[in-house]
Amino acid sequence: MADDTHDRIPAYTGALTVFATSVLTAALAGRAAGHDLPERFGTRDLLLGAIATQKFTRIVAKDAVTTPLRAPFTDFEKPLGSGEVQDRPRREHPQHTIGELLTCPFCLAPWTATAYVATLAVAPRAARAWAAVFAVVGGADALQHVYARLRTD
Protein backbone atom coordinates (compact mmCIF):
# COMPACT_ATOMS: atom_id res chain seq x y z
CA MET A 1 0.00 0.00 0.00
CA ALA A 2 1.39 3.40 -0.95
CA ASP A 3 2.25 5.73 1.91
CA ASP A 4 -0.21 8.42 0.80
CA THR A 5 -3.05 5.89 0.60
CA HIS A 6 -2.16 4.59 4.04
CA ASP A 7 -2.21 8.15 5.38
CA ARG A 8 -5.73 8.60 4.01
CA ILE A 9 -7.21 5.58 5.79
CA PRO A 10 -8.77 7.74 8.55
CA ALA A 11 -10.45 9.94 5.93
CA TYR A 12 -11.66 6.89 3.99
CA THR A 13 -12.96 5.43 7.25
CA GLY A 14 -14.86 8.68 7.80
CA ALA A 15 -16.40 8.48 4.31
CA LEU A 16 -17.43 4.86 4.88
CA THR A 17 -18.91 5.81 8.25
CA VAL A 18 -20.96 8.59 6.64
CA PHE A 19 -22.19 6.12 4.00
CA ALA A 20 -23.10 3.42 6.53
CA THR A 21 -24.77 5.95 8.84
CA SER A 22 -26.79 7.32 5.92
CA VAL A 23 -27.97 3.83 4.95
CA LEU A 24 -28.89 2.98 8.54
CA THR A 25 -30.70 6.31 9.02
CA ALA A 26 -32.66 5.81 5.78
CA ALA A 27 -33.61 2.27 6.79
CA LEU A 28 -34.75 3.34 10.26
CA ALA A 29 -36.67 6.33 8.89
CA GLY A 30 -38.34 4.15 6.28
CA ARG A 31 -39.29 1.54 8.83
CA ALA A 32 -40.63 4.21 11.22
CA ALA A 33 -42.78 5.53 8.38
CA GLY A 34 -44.09 2.03 7.71
CA HIS A 35 -42.01 1.32 4.61
CA ASP A 36 -40.08 -1.90 4.19
CA LEU A 37 -37.78 -2.82 1.37
CA PRO A 38 -39.58 -4.87 -1.26
CA GLU A 39 -38.86 -8.58 -1.45
CA ARG A 40 -37.44 -8.02 -4.93
CA PHE A 41 -36.95 -5.22 -7.44
CA GLY A 42 -38.24 -5.25 -10.99
CA THR A 43 -35.79 -5.66 -13.84
CA ARG A 44 -37.04 -2.43 -15.43
CA ASP A 45 -36.38 -0.47 -12.24
CA LEU A 46 -32.88 -1.91 -12.00
CA LEU A 47 -32.02 -1.20 -15.65
CA LEU A 48 -33.48 2.29 -15.46
CA GLY A 49 -31.59 2.89 -12.22
CA ALA A 50 -28.31 1.64 -13.70
CA ILE A 51 -28.57 3.95 -16.71
CA ALA A 52 -29.64 6.90 -14.57
CA THR A 53 -26.93 6.27 -11.98
CA GLN A 54 -24.26 6.17 -14.70
CA LYS A 55 -25.42 9.45 -16.20
CA PHE A 56 -26.04 11.23 -12.90
CA THR A 57 -22.63 10.31 -11.49
CA ARG A 58 -20.96 11.35 -14.74
CA ILE A 59 -22.68 14.75 -14.54
CA VAL A 60 -21.65 15.27 -10.92
CA ALA A 61 -18.06 14.08 -11.45
CA LYS A 62 -17.22 15.48 -14.88
CA ASP A 63 -19.71 18.06 -16.15
CA ALA A 64 -18.36 21.60 -16.53
CA VAL A 65 -21.61 23.04 -15.15
CA THR A 66 -21.23 21.10 -11.88
CA THR A 67 -17.72 22.47 -11.32
CA PRO A 68 -18.99 24.75 -8.49
CA LEU A 69 -20.06 21.64 -6.54
CA ARG A 70 -16.59 20.15 -6.82
CA ALA A 71 -14.56 23.39 -6.58
CA PRO A 72 -14.14 23.47 -2.76
CA PHE A 73 -12.57 19.99 -2.96
CA THR A 74 -10.82 19.93 -6.34
CA ASP A 75 -8.53 21.81 -8.68
CA PHE A 76 -9.23 22.12 -12.40
CA GLU A 77 -6.87 20.15 -14.64
CA LYS A 78 -8.18 20.28 -18.21
CA PRO A 79 -11.23 20.23 -20.47
CA LEU A 80 -12.18 16.79 -21.77
CA GLY A 81 -14.63 17.79 -24.51
CA SER A 82 -18.39 17.24 -24.76
CA GLY A 83 -18.93 19.65 -21.85
CA GLU A 84 -16.77 17.63 -19.48
CA VAL A 85 -13.72 18.62 -17.47
CA GLN A 86 -11.11 16.79 -15.47
CA ASP A 87 -10.55 17.97 -11.93
CA ARG A 88 -8.12 16.51 -9.41
CA PRO A 89 -8.74 16.22 -5.68
CA ARG A 90 -7.04 18.84 -3.53
CA ARG A 91 -4.10 17.62 -1.52
CA GLU A 92 -5.45 18.61 1.91
CA HIS A 93 -6.83 15.57 3.69
CA PRO A 94 -10.51 16.39 4.31
CA GLN A 95 -10.84 18.03 0.91
CA HIS A 96 -8.86 15.25 -0.76
CA THR A 97 -11.19 12.42 0.21
CA ILE A 98 -14.31 14.35 -0.75
CA GLY A 99 -12.54 15.46 -3.93
CA GLU A 100 -11.77 11.84 -4.79
CA LEU A 101 -15.42 10.94 -4.36
CA LEU A 102 -16.69 13.92 -6.38
CA THR A 103 -14.33 13.39 -9.32
CA CYS A 104 -14.91 9.66 -9.71
CA PRO A 105 -18.20 8.50 -11.24
CA PHE A 106 -17.34 4.93 -10.20
CA CYS A 107 -16.93 6.09 -6.58
CA LEU A 108 -20.18 8.06 -6.62
CA ALA A 109 -22.21 5.19 -8.09
CA PRO A 110 -22.72 3.19 -4.87
CA TRP A 111 -23.90 6.32 -3.04
CA THR A 112 -26.28 7.24 -5.87
CA ALA A 113 -27.57 3.70 -6.40
CA THR A 114 -28.21 3.31 -2.68
CA ALA A 115 -30.24 6.51 -2.62
CA TYR A 116 -32.20 5.37 -5.68
CA VAL A 117 -32.99 1.93 -4.21
CA ALA A 118 -33.98 3.45 -0.86
CA THR A 119 -36.23 5.94 -2.62
CA LEU A 120 -37.80 3.12 -4.65
CA ALA A 121 -38.93 1.60 -1.35
CA VAL A 122 -40.31 4.83 0.10
CA ALA A 123 -41.42 6.86 -2.92
CA PRO A 124 -41.25 4.68 -6.04
CA ARG A 125 -42.88 7.25 -8.32
CA ALA A 126 -40.32 9.91 -7.39
CA ALA A 127 -37.45 7.42 -7.77
CA ARG A 128 -38.66 6.35 -11.21
CA ALA A 129 -39.16 9.98 -12.28
CA TRP A 130 -35.59 10.84 -11.22
CA ALA A 131 -34.25 7.77 -13.00
CA ALA A 132 -36.28 8.50 -16.13
CA VAL A 133 -34.84 12.00 -16.40
CA PHE A 134 -31.23 10.86 -16.19
CA ALA A 135 -31.80 7.79 -18.38
CA VAL A 136 -33.27 10.05 -21.08
CA VAL A 137 -30.34 12.47 -20.72
CA GLY A 138 -27.91 9.53 -21.03
CA GLY A 139 -29.69 8.30 -24.15
CA ALA A 140 -29.70 11.78 -25.64
CA ASP A 141 -25.97 12.14 -24.95
CA ALA A 142 -25.30 8.83 -26.70
CA LEU A 143 -27.30 10.02 -29.71
CA GLN A 144 -25.35 13.31 -29.73
CA HIS A 145 -22.10 11.37 -29.94
CA VAL A 146 -23.45 9.16 -32.74
CA TYR A 147 -24.63 12.24 -34.64
CA ALA A 148 -21.29 14.01 -34.20
CA ARG A 149 -19.43 10.95 -35.46
CA LEU A 150 -21.67 10.64 -38.49
CA ARG A 151 -21.21 14.31 -39.32
CA THR A 152 -17.40 14.13 -39.20
CA ASP A 153 -17.06 10.95 -41.30
pLDDT beyond 60 at 146? yes
Paired residues of 76 in beta bridges: 87
pLDDT for 113-140, tens place per residue? 999 999 998 899 999 999 999 999 999 9
pTM of the full predicted structure? 0.87
pLDDT beyond 70 at 153? no
User: Domain limits at 92?
Assistant: 3-152
pLDDT beyond 90 at 108? yes
d(CA 3, CA 24): 32
Confidence category of residue 9, pLDDT binned at 50, 70, 90: confident
> How many structural domains comprise the chain?
1
Torsion angles phi and psi, residue 35, rounded to 5: -105, 130
pLDDT of 29 reads 87
